[in-house]
Structure 1
Amino acid sequence: MTKMLPVNDYVGMSFWLISMALVAATAFFFIERDRVSSKWKTSLTVSGLVTLIAAVHYFYMREVWVSTGESPTAFRYIDWLLTVPLLMIEFYLILSAVSPKKVPTGIFWRLLIGSIVMLGFGYAGETGIMDAKIAFVPSMAAWAFIIWEIFRGEASKVNAGLDNPNVQKAYKTMLLLVTFGWAIYPLGYFLGYFVDGSNSGTMNLIYNIADFWNKIAFGLVIWAAAVADTESKTS
């Protein structure tokens, strides 16, 4: 018999709440594809895929947490390994949507590889393949590399050369999400593995809040830019 979710299990409640929010966001992004011009459809499709993949994993993660009380690390990292690179690819996609020139594919690969390295060391630390404190360092270095690329690297230079206020605004907001919104994740990792008396409940609650904010907000930023750009061309 499946164990029921206790009403006082706030971590379990957060899994359930966020899974439904991700389902709703998925439906929204896919429906809104018909509202924007063709050059933006891929970006909204990727946004919908991010929330769809995350929603499916959140249903499984909730089940693991409620049934065992243990952190669903494997499901969590399968989710992140799929969705985080897709979020990084969104930078390449929004630049490509409006750039008069072909956006260098190096941007795509650097952001993709940086996100995989960041997650790989995070997984190694959380599963005991590496010491959690040692793995934290290269994982944060990879995150810093991603931030550098979108702040000062080639991606930033391509964005600076575009004459599209909607993409400029979206890029800036996405940059802030990666810098400050993603900072919630290492906070959860730190509280889960560095602090005396730490517990998996606190860590998972923080991770859940971060996913709720970053995955849905990322898509909404792109949606807003796509709608504004589309309407500016038809008005």
Structure 2
Amino acid sequence: MIVAQGIQVNELSSGQYDSIYNLFSLAIASLGFTGLFLVISQGRVLKRYRNALIVSATVCFIATYHYFRIFNNFKDSYQTSAQGGRGTFTLTNVEFNEAYRYVDWFLTVPLLLVETIAVLALAKAVQKSLLFKLVPASALMIALGYPGELATDTATRLIWGTLSTIPFLYLLYVLFVELSKSLDRQPPEVRGTVSRLRIMLVGLWGVYPIAYLFPVFGFDGSNAFVARQVGYSLADIFAKAAFGLVIFKIARMKSEVEDPAFAEQEDTEVVHAAR
């Protein structure tokens, strides 16, 4: 097993431990049940948009699996002998494995872009062209960031962080320049929502480099460790679970615009099922 040993802390207070413990639990619940909702809700959108929901649910389920691994690893890494579990939690011989996050991001970040393109229902040639640019760049961004996470010195961390920024800037270009050419083909009712979807995605991605650069800013120790786990976890919840719900909203809106009869029939079935 590859273990990320860039930043380890030897002790956590009971409050710090509980904060991370509870946040990991929140991430598991949020991601898992959002994925389940998206699978169940496929029938509420037209067939052409169901792939977007399936990909979004897959993102949530992959993240849920990795958060189970992170959660269990965290419990093994930090333990206390204090009665009632209210004392200081010390690092055991089991290192806290930050690599779980990078494996997750390596899989889910490209899929987030896939679901974004899928919900737009563009011409196949346009979809293929965009995905050919977005997916490799996103995978390269994550791969280049990982060695910096392992680094114990600032220079190495900055070098890999800078290299990781290059494909990130290319992603911004594709999302805000090339993809904008396709927004005119979207129904006016959803054009604004789709535009905000890109801003939401990029804005949430901005949380990750901030947490990544904590050691560069001189923010270290147990407080930095807790802040990094909080930042990464909240960003994952919003970038995957909340983002998936926005994807569902767009798919639903486009289904209503393109086939009002389908939307009316689906609404009727939902009302009858609720009675």
Same fold (TM over 0.5): yes
* 1:108 corresponds to which of 100, 108, 131: 131
Matched, 1:51 2:60: yes
Report the equivalent of 1:3. none
Give the Å deviation of 1:92: 2.2
Instruction: Supply the AA of the counterpart residue of 1:140.
Output: T
- Which ranges in structure 1 are unaligned for 5 or more consecutive residues? 1-5
Give the Å deviation of 1:75: 0.9
Q: CA RMSD in A?
A: 2.0
- Which ranges in structure 2 are unaligned for 5 or more consecutive residues? 1-13, 79-94, 262-275
Between the aligned partners of 1:224 and 1:86, the Cα distance in structure 2 is: 18
Matched, 1:203 2:212: no
Distance 1:13 1:163, change over 3 A: closer
Between the aligned partners of 1:108 and 1:89, the Cα distance in structure 2 is: 7
* 1:77 corresponds to which of 92, 96, 102: 102
Report the equivalent of 1:89. 114
How does the TM-score come out when normalised to structure 2? 0.76
Indicate the SS of the match to 1:9: helix
Matches within 5 A, 1:74-223: 74-95=99-120, 97=121, 99=122, 102-128=125-151, 131-153=156-178, 155-160=179-184, 162-191=185-214, 193-198=215-220, 199-223=224-248
Matched, 1:228 2:253: yes
Structure 1 consecutive aligned stretches of length 4 or more whose deviation exceeds 3 Å? 99-102
How does the TM-score come out when normalised to structure 1? 0.88
Distance 1:100 1:86, change over 3 A: closer
Identity of aligned residues (%): 28
Pair member with larger Rg: 2
Residues 47, 219 of structure 1: 8 Å contact kept: yes
Matched, 1:26 2:35: yes
Between the aligned partners of 2:35 and 2:124, the Cα distance in structure 1 is: 31
